[in-house]
């Protein structure tokens, strides 16, 4: 038996610009067409090297839809549910780009892939005007919480168990996973979690979208707000594309995340969510190529842009913008890197994701829940080039693209054992979704903790447990950061 697929299911009522979404409760009239993808969040042109071929689906502000893949084979009990949250720097991507067929079959689970608002449409909340977070917002996180509420209330109709919901996210989706493990409003909605390349959420202020628009258009804040409310969507996307900072800066210490992320996770105690978190050995390699695919400019200009982006991203590893300069000095000294360039960029990107995995796994372990760390070490083929294990490699394993004839995710993994490893990875996910522990599909994988800092190096040549692979950075770079 195969898979039943339900596409374009509405999980929230049609959204109003810059306002929180509301879980869909209005019944549809007649027969609902679940054979077509729902609209995707508004964004700049899709980069096929990253997301695969363009899909036959519109882009719209009204984009809060999800897709379900559920095995046809009968089950004695409801299946675990895996909810996938896509990445894309909170400005790009869609759940539509990920076919859950091989994941659902290999993990024997119901797979749900969600859309959520992106860019300025996720960054600016008019209900926050006049507060200390004036105009900032986390509509993206509210959308995701509503998607999980819809899953809780409806997934039994598709064979899923609402008490066994695992969230998996990559990149911005992994940041979302960590946020959902911390957010009080999501406490009863998530039971397991995996964060693939998660950044660290700082407590810095979010982007002042009103101020940016006011400066750009040379008008008052009141007129800037009027413009934001009424402007054609493509104008706002164009502003965003020009780098006017009208994009969400995910931060903590907000109404949905009332404190530091690691503190919120730790405070859950016995209710903390078991977590798998990890990163690739050279996170920045594919991100450099991704930037070239998006911004087709001469190499000297691209090198400067890459450097500026890396310095901004350093806020994750530094735990705040104020700490960036001393953090970068310590990081370069610990790694033995001089000057700037691709090696520096890769170091900064990798350490940000490394620290995110470390911090959230440690907070989870301190709370008493099980935590696991992995390091992905599989060569990649990205944008026509062979590179070391890098950002996005987790996707090829999680969606087991080698066994999925409908796969839209590029294969990425460039190793003769990649397909066999992907099957083992997916079996591990199925066990984790059921039991909240890693199982033995990849071999014996000890839990991570303050006294047992074990990680699993995932490789096509064999998966190996390593002890305290982050020690250099933890002792020489991280621990000195407030």
Q: Per-residue pLDDT tens for 233-250?
A: 999 998 887 766 777 678
The residue assigned the tokens 């977590």 is 275
DSSP assignment of 89-109 equals TTTS--GGG---HHHHHHHTS
Query: Quick one: average pLDDT of 339-366?
Result: 92
Alpha helices in 54-171 (DSSP H): 101-107, 120-123, 139-154
Residue 99 has pLDDT above 50, yes or no: yes
What count of other Cβ atoms lies within 10 Å of the Cβ of residue 344?
Answer: 21
What pLDDT band is residue 206 in, cutting at 50, 70 and 90?
Answer: confident
pLDDT of residue 482: 43
Q: What pLDDT is stored for residue 131 in this prediction?
A: 77
Helix ranges (H only) for 319-374 are 324-335, 342-367
Tokens 């998660």 found at: 198
Max mean pLDDT among 316-325, 384-393, 421-430 falls in: 421-430
- Mean pLDDT value of segment 343-349: 93
Report the C-alpha gap between 24 and 30 in whole angstroms: 17
- Rounded CA-CA distance 195/278 in Å is 7
Dihedral Cα 312, 318, 324, 330, nearest 10 deg: -130
Residue 481 has pLDDT above 50, yes or no: no
The pLDDT > 90 percentage for the chain reads 70
| 291, two tokens | 């930037």
pTM for this model (two decimals):
0.95
The DSSP code for 185 is: G
CA distances, 152 to each of 141, 160, 197, 276 (Å): 17, 9, 26, 22
Residue 380 phi, psi (nearest 5): -125, 155
Contact criterion met (CB below 8 Å) for 472 and 452:
no
Percent of the chain with pLDDT over 70: 96
By mean pLDDT, which of 48-62, 180-194, 227-241, 445-459 is the weakest? Answer: 48-62
Q: What stretch of H or E contains 83?
A: strand 79-85
The secondary structure element, H or E, covering residue 267 is: helix 261-267
Nearest to 40 by CA among 25, 19, 16, 61: 61
Whether the per-residue pLDDT at 110 is higher than 60: the answer is: yes
Say if residue 404's pLDDT is above 90.
no
Distance, CA of 173 to CA of 277 (rounded, Å): 12
Q: Give the C-alpha separation, 5 to 34, whole Å.
A: 8
Dihedral angle computed from the Cα positions of residues 362, 367, 368 and 370, in that order, rounded to the nearest 10 degrees = -40
> The tokens of 481 are what?
């950061």
Query: Is the pLDDT confidence value at 292 over 80?
Result: no
The answer to whether 380 and 410 have CB atoms below 8 angstroms apart is: no
Mean pLDDT of 253-273: 92
Cα-based angle 196, 199, 201 (whole degrees, multiple of 5): 135
Q: What structural domains and CATH numbers belong to the chain? A: 3-207+247-283+354-472 (3.40.50.1820)
Tokens, residue 433: 């979704």
- Pair 300, 362: CB distance under 8 Å: no
């Amino acid at each position: 038996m195969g898979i039943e697929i339900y596409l374009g299911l509405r999980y929230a009522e049609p959204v109003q610009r810059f306002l929180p979404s509301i879980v869909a409760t209005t019944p549809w009239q007649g027969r609902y067409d679940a054979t077509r993808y729902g609209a995707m969040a508004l964004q700049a042109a899709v980069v096929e090297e990253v997301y695969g071929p363009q899909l036959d689906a519109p882009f719209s502000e009204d984009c809060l839809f999800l897709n379900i893949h559920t095995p046809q084979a009968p089950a004695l009990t409801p299946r675990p549910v895996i909810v996938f949250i896509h990445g894309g720097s909170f400005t790009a991507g869609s759940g539509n780009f990920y076919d859950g067929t091989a994941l659902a079959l290999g993990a024997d689970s119901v797979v749900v892939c969600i859309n959520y608002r992106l860019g300025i449409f996720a960054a600016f909340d008019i209900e926050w005007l006049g507060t200390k977070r004036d105009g900032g917002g986390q509509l993206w996180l509210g959308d995701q919480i509503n998607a999980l509420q819809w899953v809780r209330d409806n997934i039994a109709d598709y064979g899923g168990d609402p008490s066994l919901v695992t969230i998996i996210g990559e990149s911005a989706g992994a940041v979302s996973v960590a946020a959902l493990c911390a957010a009080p409003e999501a406490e009863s909605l998530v039971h397991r979690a995996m964060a693939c390349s998660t950044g660290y959420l700082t407590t810095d202020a979010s982007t002042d979208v009103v101020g940016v628009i006011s400066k750009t258009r040379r008008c008052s804040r009141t007129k800037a707000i009027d413009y934001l409310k009424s402007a054609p969507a493509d104008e706002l996307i164009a502003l965003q594309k020009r780098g006017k900072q009208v994009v969400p800066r995910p931060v903590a210490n907000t109404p949905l995340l009332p404190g530091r992320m690691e503190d919120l996770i730790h405070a859950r105690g016995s209710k903390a969510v078991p977590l798998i978190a990890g990163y690739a050995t050279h996170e920045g390699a594919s991100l450099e190529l991704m930037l070239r695919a998006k911004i087709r400019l001469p190499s000297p200009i691209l090198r400067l842009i890459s450097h500026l982006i890396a310095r901004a991203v350093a806020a994750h590893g530094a735990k705040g913008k104020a700490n960036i300069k001393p953090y970068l000095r310590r990081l370069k000294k610990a790694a033995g890197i001089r000057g700037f360039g691709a090696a520096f960029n890769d170091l900064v990107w990798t350490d940000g994701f490394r620290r995110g995995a470390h911090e959230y796994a440690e907070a989870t372990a301190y709370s008493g829940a099980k935590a696991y760390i992995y390091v992905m070490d599989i060569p990649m083929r990205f944008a026509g080039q062979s590179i070391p294990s890098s950002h996005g490699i987790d996707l090829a394993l999680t969606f087991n693209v080698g066994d999925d004839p409908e796969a839209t995710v590029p294969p990425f993994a460039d190793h003769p054992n990649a397909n066999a490893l992907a099957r083992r990875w997916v079996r591990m996910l199925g066990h984790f979704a059921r039991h909240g522990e890693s199982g033995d599909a990849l071999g014996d994988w000890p839990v991570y903790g303050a006294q047992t800092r074990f990680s699993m190096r995932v490789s096509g040549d064999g998966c190996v447990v390593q002890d305290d692979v982050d020690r250099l950075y933890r002792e020489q770079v991280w621990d000195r950061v407030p």
